[in-house]
Amino acid sequence: MEFKDYYQIMGINRDASQGEIKRAYRKLARKYHPDVSKEADAELRFKELGEAYEVLKDPEKRAAYNQLGKNWKAGQEFDPPPEWDQGFEFHGGGFTGADAEQFSDFFESLFGHGGFSHGATDGFQQQFDARGQDTHAKILISLDDAFHGATRAISIKHTELDQNGQPRLKERTLNVHIPKGVRQGQHIRLAKQGAKGLGNVEAGDLFLEIEFQAHPFYQVEGKNIFLKCPLAPWEAMLGAMVKLPTPTGKIDLKIPPNSSNGQKLRLKGRGIPAREPGDLYAVLEIALPQANDEKTRQAYLDMKQKFNFNPRATLGV
């Protein structure tokens, strides 16, 4: 078991006042709340923070923790000294709806698991007598999956309470059918695949948040898809029919004459399928051929002579 430095986790000194601890907690809770944070490890940090605060905000637990001494380093192998908590009386009150099942072994070895009574808060964690807890996870799919639907095996780690009410980490694999037409950021609900209820009570639901893998040439925004379409200068100026890939197959796209760089051509209904499907936008990008031999240099020279063209006219020079 690893030692946890609760002061380091909260970024405060060992002599911080109770007020400082509270302020540090509030600030970090906003930073690492999994619904708000963009940090990759937000969920883990938020849990650690909750555990650290649970100990440090309570003067009784804080004093007991301090007694372990300051020579311990975070991550160091740790076993609680025998009868380390002798002479401390824990009242266990003031448990602010934090999720005790999520606390580390380190916390449990010091303060036990069942010793705290849950306060009368209205969080999800307290509803033991109702159905099991709802759980959520992220799932990474390809754009192709969104177009055609797909079956994906996903593995989910979760904690489950056994018959004695002790949490156990379990991993399970689910075969999930991803319905056609899902979009980035949407949620899929899998009924009764969340945490099991205690006894014979109904299990909670599992919510999967959809995330798209980056694609080499399609970019997705909502239900619309964007695709860069490189054009030769003569194709853009004279008009052309060009071949273009789409997620449902190749198409011929008509480029009107005098098209300009960055212009978007909309292909209606070729975005992500839905009752009102999204659109596909071809974003025109004019590519210039290199002049690296006599013939091609001559072609550019001809252009220079034949066009009276000042690309900086709008800059007044």
Partner 1 sequence: MVNDFLKIIQGEILEEEVKISLSQLCRLSNLPAESILEMMEYGVIEPYQHSTEKWLFKGDSVYRLRCAQRLKKDLHVNTAGAALALDLLQEMKQMRMRLRRLEEQLK
Among 8, 186, 213, 261, binds partner 1 (CB under 8 A): 186
Shortest Cβ 238–partner 1 spacing (Å): 24
| 62 sits in which H/E element | helix 59-66
Size of the site for partner 1 (CB under 8 A): 52
Shortest Cβ 106–partner 1 spacing (Å): 22
* CB burial of residue 284 (10 Å; 0-12, 13-18, 19+): buried
Residue 223-242 contact track with partner 1, rule CB under 8 A, x = bound: ---x-x--------------
Task: Decide if residue 196 touches partner 1 (CB under 8 A).
Answer: no
| Residue whose C-alpha is closest to residue 144's, from 212, 222, 226 | 212
The DSSP code sequence of 165-226 is: S-EEEEEEEEEEEE-TT--TT-EEEETT-SPPPSTTPPP--EEEEEEEPP-SSEEEETTEEE
Spatial strand order in the sheet of 264-267: 218-221, 224-231, 280-286, 264-267
Shortest Cβ 20–partner 1 spacing (Å): 18
Task: Decide if residue 54 touches partner 1 (CB under 8 A).
Answer: no
- 239: tokens are 């008009």
Contact stretch for partner 1 (CB under 8 A) within 28-36, 62-70, 100-108, 236-244 = 28-36
Shortest Cβ 149–partner 1 spacing (Å): 10
Task: Decide if residue 266 touches partner 1 (CB under 8 A).
Answer: no
Residue 97, beta-bridge partner list: none
What sign has the CA pseudo-torsion 65, 71, 77, 78? Answer: negative
Shortest Cβ 209–partner 1 spacing (Å): 8
Task: Decide if residue 211 touches partner 1 (CB under 8 A).
Answer: no
Bridge-based pairing state of the strands 150-161 and 167-178: antiparallel
Q: For residue 137, how many other CB atoms are within 10 A of its CB?
A: 15
Residue 266, beta-bridge partner list: 281
Q: Which is nearer to partner 1, 113 or 152 (CB)?
A: 152
Residue 136, beta-bridge partner list: 207
**Which residue type does 239 have?**
G
| Residue whose C-alpha is closest to residue 148's, from 250, 268, 273 | 273
Among 64, 205, 259, 282, binds partner 1 (CB under 8 A): 205
Residue 231, beta-bridge partner list: 286
Residue 154-183 contact track with partner 1, rule CB under 8 A, x = bound: ------------------xxxxxxxx-xxx
Shortest Cβ 271–partner 1 spacing (Å): 13
Cα 300 to chain centroid distance, Å, stands at: 50
Bridge-based pairing state of the strands 264-267 and 280-286: antiparallel
Task: Decide if residue 198 touches partner 1 (CB under 8 A).
Answer: no
What span, in angstroms and rounded, lies between the C-alpha atoms of 226 and 243? 16
Among 121, 166, 261, 298, binds partner 1 (CB under 8 A): 121
Among 9, 141, 195, 208, binds partner 1 (CB under 8 A): 208
Shortest Cβ 90–partner 1 spacing (Å): 24
Residue ranges in 277-296 that form contacts with partner 1 under rule CB under 8 A: 283
Task: Decide if residue 269 touches partner 1 (CB under 8 A).
Answer: no
The single-letter DSSP state of residue 306 is H
Q: Which is nearer to partner 1, 12 or 206 (CB)?
A: 206
Task: Decide if residue 137 touches partner 1 (CB under 8 A).
Answer: no
Binding site for partner 1 (CB under 8 A): 26, 29-30, 33, 35-36, 46, 97, 121-124, 127, 130-131, 134, 151, 153, 172-179, 181-191, 193, 204-205, 207-208, 214, 219-222, 226, 228, 274-275, 283
